[in-house]
A and B are shown apart, each in its own frame.
Chain A
Amino acid sequence: MNWIYDPWPWYIAGPLIALVMFLLLFVGKQFGMSSNLRSACAAMGAGKASDFFKFDWKAQRWNLMVVLGAILGGFIASNYMSDNTVEINPEVAQQLARDYHITSAGESYLPPEIFSPEALSDPFKVFILLLGGLLVGFGARYAGGCTSGHAISGLSNLQLPSLIAVIGFFIGGLLMIHIIYPFIF
Protein backbone atom coordinates (compact mmCIF):
# COMPACT_ATOMS: atom_id res chain seq x y z
CA MET A 1 0.00 0.00 0.00
CA ASN A 2 0.97 3.62 -0.38
CA TRP A 3 1.27 4.44 3.30
CA ILE A 4 1.22 8.19 2.84
CA TYR A 5 -1.83 8.37 0.61
CA ASP A 6 -3.98 5.41 1.62
CA PRO A 7 -6.07 5.45 4.83
CA TRP A 8 -4.16 4.10 7.80
CA PRO A 9 -5.52 0.78 9.14
CA TRP A 10 -6.59 0.49 12.78
CA TYR A 11 -3.51 -1.54 13.75
CA ILE A 12 -1.30 1.39 12.72
CA ALA A 13 -3.49 4.19 14.07
CA GLY A 14 -4.30 2.62 17.47
CA PRO A 15 -0.65 2.05 18.51
CA LEU A 16 0.27 5.55 17.27
CA ILE A 17 -2.47 7.05 19.48
CA ALA A 18 -1.00 5.13 22.43
CA LEU A 19 2.36 6.64 21.46
CA VAL A 20 0.84 10.16 21.58
CA MET A 21 -0.43 9.42 25.10
CA PHE A 22 3.03 8.23 26.22
CA LEU A 23 4.77 11.21 24.62
CA LEU A 24 2.52 13.56 26.59
CA LEU A 25 3.04 11.58 29.81
CA PHE A 26 6.81 11.72 29.37
CA VAL A 27 6.78 15.50 28.93
CA GLY A 28 4.83 15.66 32.21
CA LYS A 29 1.33 16.22 30.75
CA GLN A 30 -1.66 14.05 29.99
CA PHE A 31 -3.63 13.09 26.90
CA GLY A 32 -7.07 14.70 26.85
CA MET A 33 -8.47 16.84 24.08
CA SER A 34 -11.39 18.57 25.83
CA SER A 35 -9.80 20.36 28.82
CA ASN A 36 -8.43 22.95 26.36
CA LEU A 37 -12.05 24.14 25.98
CA ARG A 38 -12.06 25.07 29.66
CA SER A 39 -8.69 26.83 29.26
CA ALA A 40 -10.06 28.70 26.25
CA CYS A 41 -13.14 29.83 28.22
CA ALA A 42 -10.90 30.97 31.08
CA ALA A 43 -8.61 32.83 28.65
CA MET A 44 -11.65 34.65 27.26
CA GLY A 45 -12.58 35.87 30.75
CA ALA A 46 -15.18 33.28 31.83
CA GLY A 47 -13.71 33.48 35.36
CA LYS A 48 -15.89 36.56 35.85
CA ALA A 49 -18.99 34.37 35.52
CA SER A 50 -17.97 31.20 37.35
CA ASP A 51 -15.28 30.00 39.74
CA PHE A 52 -14.94 26.93 37.51
CA PHE A 53 -12.93 29.14 35.15
CA LYS A 54 -10.88 30.85 37.87
CA PHE A 55 -7.65 28.94 37.58
CA ASP A 56 -4.21 29.55 36.20
CA TRP A 57 -5.03 28.88 32.55
CA LYS A 58 -1.62 30.16 31.51
CA ALA A 59 -0.17 27.03 33.15
CA GLN A 60 -2.43 25.10 30.75
CA ARG A 61 -1.16 26.89 27.66
CA TRP A 62 0.52 23.67 26.54
CA ASN A 63 -3.00 22.35 25.94
CA LEU A 64 -3.71 25.14 23.47
CA MET A 65 -0.37 24.42 21.75
CA VAL A 66 -1.47 20.81 21.25
CA VAL A 67 -4.70 22.14 19.70
CA LEU A 68 -2.69 24.39 17.38
CA GLY A 69 -0.65 21.33 16.38
CA ALA A 70 -3.81 19.29 15.73
CA ILE A 71 -5.10 22.04 13.44
CA LEU A 72 -1.80 22.02 11.52
CA GLY A 73 -1.88 18.22 11.38
CA GLY A 74 -5.37 18.31 9.87
CA PHE A 75 -4.20 20.82 7.27
CA ILE A 76 -1.16 18.75 6.30
CA ALA A 77 -3.02 15.43 6.21
CA SER A 78 -5.94 16.68 4.14
CA ASN A 79 -3.87 18.70 1.67
CA TYR A 80 -0.83 16.47 1.14
CA MET A 81 -1.65 12.99 2.41
CA SER A 82 -5.22 12.18 1.42
CA ASP A 83 -7.74 12.14 -1.41
CA ASN A 84 -10.32 13.13 1.23
CA THR A 85 -12.72 10.27 0.69
CA VAL A 86 -13.83 7.65 3.20
CA GLU A 87 -15.05 4.19 2.25
CA ILE A 88 -17.41 2.63 4.77
CA ASN A 89 -19.37 -0.60 5.00
CA PRO A 90 -21.51 -0.66 1.80
CA GLU A 91 -24.60 -1.70 3.77
CA VAL A 92 -24.26 1.30 6.08
CA ALA A 93 -23.65 3.54 3.04
CA GLN A 94 -26.82 2.22 1.37
CA GLN A 95 -28.81 2.74 4.56
CA LEU A 96 -27.57 6.35 4.74
CA ALA A 97 -28.66 6.98 1.16
CA ARG A 98 -32.02 5.27 1.62
CA ASP A 99 -33.06 6.72 4.97
CA TYR A 100 -31.36 10.10 5.05
CA HIS A 101 -30.48 10.87 1.40
CA ILE A 102 -26.82 11.10 2.35
CA THR A 103 -25.17 9.68 -0.76
CA SER A 104 -21.62 10.96 -0.33
CA ALA A 105 -20.08 7.95 1.48
CA GLY A 106 -16.99 6.91 -0.50
CA GLU A 107 -16.83 10.33 -2.20
CA SER A 108 -16.04 12.74 0.62
CA TYR A 109 -14.51 12.90 4.10
CA LEU A 110 -17.51 14.60 5.71
CA PRO A 111 -21.01 14.49 4.18
CA PRO A 112 -21.54 17.74 2.21
CA GLU A 113 -25.27 17.24 2.91
CA ILE A 114 -24.48 18.45 6.46
CA PHE A 115 -21.08 20.17 6.31
CA SER A 116 -20.87 22.00 2.98
CA PRO A 117 -21.12 25.81 3.14
CA GLU A 118 -24.35 25.55 1.10
CA ALA A 119 -25.91 23.29 3.77
CA LEU A 120 -25.52 26.17 6.22
CA SER A 121 -28.30 28.07 4.48
CA ASP A 122 -30.58 25.54 6.21
CA PRO A 123 -31.04 26.87 9.79
CA PHE A 124 -31.91 23.35 10.97
CA LYS A 125 -28.45 22.08 9.99
CA VAL A 126 -26.77 24.98 11.75
CA PHE A 127 -28.84 24.10 14.81
CA ILE A 128 -27.76 20.43 14.60
CA LEU A 129 -24.07 21.37 14.49
CA LEU A 130 -24.45 23.89 17.31
CA LEU A 131 -26.41 21.50 19.53
CA GLY A 132 -23.98 18.66 18.79
CA GLY A 133 -21.05 20.84 19.82
CA LEU A 134 -22.89 22.10 22.88
CA LEU A 135 -23.60 18.56 24.11
CA VAL A 136 -19.99 17.53 23.46
CA GLY A 137 -18.61 20.50 25.41
CA PHE A 138 -21.08 20.27 28.28
CA GLY A 139 -20.91 16.48 28.52
CA ALA A 140 -17.12 16.33 28.36
CA ARG A 141 -16.72 18.76 31.27
CA TYR A 142 -19.53 17.16 33.29
CA ALA A 143 -17.96 13.71 32.78
CA GLY A 144 -14.46 15.15 33.32
CA GLY A 145 -13.10 14.01 29.98
CA CYS A 146 -13.84 12.93 26.43
CA THR A 147 -12.87 10.06 24.15
CA SER A 148 -9.15 10.69 24.65
CA GLY A 149 -9.24 11.52 28.37
CA HIS A 150 -11.51 8.66 29.40
CA ALA A 151 -11.53 5.98 26.65
CA ILE A 152 -7.75 6.09 26.13
CA SER A 153 -6.02 7.76 29.13
CA GLY A 154 -8.47 6.79 31.89
CA LEU A 155 -9.11 3.22 30.77
CA SER A 156 -5.38 2.66 30.19
CA ASN A 157 -4.95 3.59 33.85
CA LEU A 158 -7.76 1.14 34.75
CA GLN A 159 -10.04 3.86 36.14
CA LEU A 160 -13.59 2.69 36.94
CA PRO A 161 -15.00 6.25 36.50
CA SER A 162 -13.63 6.22 32.95
CA LEU A 163 -15.34 2.92 32.24
CA ILE A 164 -18.66 4.40 33.44
CA ALA A 165 -18.08 7.47 31.24
CA VAL A 166 -17.25 5.36 28.17
CA ILE A 167 -20.39 3.26 28.72
CA GLY A 168 -22.25 6.59 28.88
CA PHE A 169 -20.63 7.73 25.59
CA PHE A 170 -21.96 4.63 23.87
CA ILE A 171 -25.43 4.80 25.45
CA GLY A 172 -25.67 8.41 24.22
CA GLY A 173 -24.27 7.64 20.77
CA LEU A 174 -26.50 4.62 20.18
CA LEU A 175 -29.58 6.53 21.40
CA MET A 176 -28.79 9.37 19.01
CA ILE A 177 -28.12 7.22 15.94
CA HIS A 178 -30.84 4.60 16.39
CA ILE A 179 -33.67 6.42 18.22
CA ILE A 180 -33.28 10.18 17.67
CA TYR A 181 -31.85 10.34 14.09
CA PRO A 182 -34.96 8.71 12.54
CA PHE A 183 -37.07 11.46 14.13
CA ILE A 184 -34.97 14.48 13.25
CA PHE A 185 -33.62 13.66 9.77
Chain B
Amino acid sequence: MRHIIYIAIGMFFGIIMFKSEAASWFRIYEMFHFGSFHMYGIIGSALALGIIGIRVIKYKNLKPIDGSDMSLDPKNKGIARYLIGGILFGLGWALAGACPGPMYVLAGAGYTSILIVIFGALVGTFLYGLIKKHLPH
Protein backbone atom coordinates (compact mmCIF):
# COMPACT_ATOMS: atom_id res chain seq x y z
CA MET B 1 0.00 0.00 0.00
CA ARG B 2 2.75 2.42 0.98
CA HIS B 3 4.54 1.62 -2.26
CA ILE B 4 1.47 2.72 -4.21
CA ILE B 5 1.58 6.10 -2.44
CA TYR B 6 5.23 6.63 -3.40
CA ILE B 7 4.59 5.56 -6.98
CA ALA B 8 1.61 7.93 -7.15
CA ILE B 9 3.64 10.86 -5.80
CA GLY B 10 6.43 10.05 -8.28
CA MET B 11 3.92 9.90 -11.12
CA PHE B 12 2.46 13.27 -10.17
CA PHE B 13 6.00 14.69 -10.04
CA GLY B 14 6.87 13.17 -13.43
CA ILE B 15 3.81 14.68 -15.08
CA ILE B 16 4.62 18.11 -13.59
CA MET B 17 8.23 17.93 -14.78
CA PHE B 18 7.22 16.97 -18.31
CA LYS B 19 4.25 19.33 -18.65
CA SER B 20 6.13 22.33 -17.24
CA GLU B 21 8.92 21.60 -19.75
CA ALA B 22 11.43 21.59 -16.87
CA ALA B 23 12.55 18.23 -18.29
CA SER B 24 13.35 19.79 -21.69
CA TRP B 25 16.95 20.33 -22.75
CA PHE B 26 15.78 23.54 -24.47
CA ARG B 27 14.41 25.04 -21.25
CA ILE B 28 17.68 24.34 -19.39
CA TYR B 29 19.71 25.90 -22.19
CA GLU B 30 17.38 28.92 -22.28
CA MET B 31 17.60 29.28 -18.48
CA PHE B 32 21.38 29.51 -18.53
CA HIS B 33 21.02 32.17 -21.24
CA PHE B 34 18.55 34.08 -19.04
CA GLY B 35 16.25 33.88 -22.08
CA SER B 36 13.01 33.39 -20.16
CA PHE B 37 11.51 33.79 -16.70
CA HIS B 38 9.91 30.34 -16.98
CA MET B 39 12.43 28.16 -15.09
CA TYR B 40 13.13 30.88 -12.52
CA GLY B 41 9.39 31.25 -12.00
CA ILE B 42 9.02 27.51 -11.39
CA ILE B 43 11.87 27.31 -8.89
CA GLY B 44 11.00 30.67 -7.31
CA SER B 45 7.29 29.98 -6.78
CA ALA B 46 7.98 26.44 -5.48
CA LEU B 47 10.50 27.94 -3.11
CA ALA B 48 8.27 30.78 -1.89
CA LEU B 49 5.49 28.33 -1.02
CA GLY B 50 8.04 25.88 0.37
CA ILE B 51 9.51 28.46 2.76
CA ILE B 52 6.06 29.49 4.00
CA GLY B 53 4.87 25.88 4.37
CA ILE B 54 7.94 24.73 6.29
CA ARG B 55 7.64 27.78 8.60
CA VAL B 56 4.05 26.70 9.30
CA ILE B 57 5.10 23.05 9.87
CA LYS B 58 7.74 24.14 12.39
CA TYR B 59 5.56 26.75 14.08
CA LYS B 60 2.61 24.37 14.50
CA ASN B 61 4.93 21.38 15.12
CA LEU B 62 3.07 19.32 12.51
CA LYS B 63 3.96 15.62 12.21
CA PRO B 64 3.84 13.15 9.30
CA ILE B 65 0.77 10.91 9.16
CA ASP B 66 2.58 8.06 10.95
CA GLY B 67 3.45 10.38 13.86
CA SER B 68 7.23 10.27 13.25
CA ASP B 69 9.39 13.38 12.99
CA MET B 70 9.49 15.53 9.87
CA SER B 71 12.62 14.94 7.76
CA LEU B 72 13.83 18.51 8.15
CA ASP B 73 17.25 17.92 9.69
CA PRO B 74 19.72 20.75 9.13
CA LYS B 75 22.42 20.04 6.52
CA ASN B 76 25.98 19.50 7.73
CA LYS B 77 28.04 22.69 7.83
CA GLY B 78 30.75 23.26 5.28
CA ILE B 79 31.61 25.16 2.15
CA ALA B 80 33.99 23.10 -0.03
CA ARG B 81 31.73 20.12 -0.67
CA TYR B 82 28.71 22.27 -1.49
CA LEU B 83 30.59 24.67 -3.73
CA ILE B 84 32.81 22.16 -5.58
CA GLY B 85 30.13 19.48 -5.72
CA GLY B 86 27.61 22.10 -6.81
CA ILE B 87 29.84 23.37 -9.62
CA LEU B 88 30.48 19.82 -10.89
CA PHE B 89 26.75 19.14 -10.78
CA GLY B 90 26.02 22.39 -12.65
CA LEU B 91 28.53 21.50 -15.38
CA GLY B 92 26.78 18.17 -15.87
CA TRP B 93 23.29 19.67 -15.65
CA ALA B 94 24.08 22.04 -18.51
CA LEU B 95 26.06 19.47 -20.53
CA ALA B 96 23.37 16.79 -20.49
CA GLY B 97 20.51 19.30 -20.19
CA ALA B 98 18.91 17.21 -17.46
CA CYS B 99 19.09 16.81 -13.69
CA PRO B 100 18.24 13.61 -11.81
CA GLY B 101 14.41 13.94 -11.63
CA PRO B 102 13.87 14.75 -15.31
CA MET B 103 16.26 11.94 -16.37
CA TYR B 104 13.73 9.36 -15.23
CA VAL B 105 10.82 11.31 -16.65
CA LEU B 106 12.53 11.42 -20.05
CA ALA B 107 13.28 7.70 -19.87
CA GLY B 108 9.55 7.12 -19.37
CA ALA B 109 8.79 9.47 -22.26
CA GLY B 110 10.75 7.11 -24.48
CA TYR B 111 14.01 8.98 -25.10
CA THR B 112 16.36 6.01 -25.05
CA SER B 113 19.51 8.18 -25.24
CA ILE B 114 18.78 9.43 -21.74
CA LEU B 115 19.65 5.94 -20.50
CA ILE B 116 23.29 6.82 -21.26
CA VAL B 117 22.95 9.87 -18.98
CA ILE B 118 21.37 7.74 -16.22
CA PHE B 119 24.14 5.16 -16.59
CA GLY B 120 26.69 8.01 -16.34
CA ALA B 121 24.97 9.30 -13.19
CA LEU B 122 25.17 5.85 -11.59
CA VAL B 123 28.87 5.62 -12.47
CA GLY B 124 29.43 9.14 -11.11
CA THR B 125 27.68 8.25 -7.85
CA PHE B 126 29.80 5.08 -7.59
CA LEU B 127 33.02 7.02 -8.28
CA TYR B 128 32.16 9.49 -5.54
CA GLY B 129 31.73 6.60 -3.10
CA LEU B 130 35.15 5.25 -4.11
CA ILE B 131 37.13 8.48 -3.66
CA LYS B 132 35.01 10.25 -1.02
CA LYS B 133 37.73 9.87 1.65
CA HIS B 134 40.24 11.81 -0.44
CA LEU B 135 37.99 14.79 -1.22
CA PRO B 136 37.73 18.02 0.81
CA HIS B 137 34.36 18.24 2.54
Chain A residues within 8 Å of B, Cβ to Cβ: 7-18, 20-30, 33-34, 36-38, 40-41, 46, 49-50, 52-53, 61-62, 65-79, 81-82, 84, 86, 88-89, 91-92, 95-96, 105, 109-111, 114-117, 119-120, 126, 128-148, 150-162, 164-178, 180-181
Contact = CB atoms under 8 A, between A and B. Distances in A.
A148 B81 contact: no
Given A136-B103, A137-B126, 20 more contacts: A7-B19, A10-B41, A18-B47, A18-B49, A25-B64, A34-B121, A49-B129, A68-B7, A69-B13, A70-B13, A110-B97, A110-B106, A129-B113, A130-B119, A133-B116, A146-B99, A146-B100, A164-B86, A169-B87, A180-B91
B82 A161 contact: yes
A53 B97 CA distance: 27
Interface residues of B, number: 115
A110 B25 contact: yes
Contacts of B9: 20, 23-24, 27, 66, 69
Contacts of A66: 6-7, 9-10, 13
B19 A13 contact: yes
Contacts of B114: 115, 129
B100 A148 contact: yes
B13 A138 contact: no
**Which of B62, B125, B127, B135 has the most A CB atoms < 10 Å from its CB?**
B125
Contacts of A128: 95-96
Contacts of A67: 10, 104
Contact of B44 (A14, A91, A114): A14
18 contacts: A28-B65, A33-B104, A34-B125, A41-B125, A52-B129, A62-B3, A66-B9, A74-B23, A92-B33, A92-B35, A105-B26, A115-B111, A129-B96, A136-B96, A136-B98, A141-B129, A169-B87, A172-B91
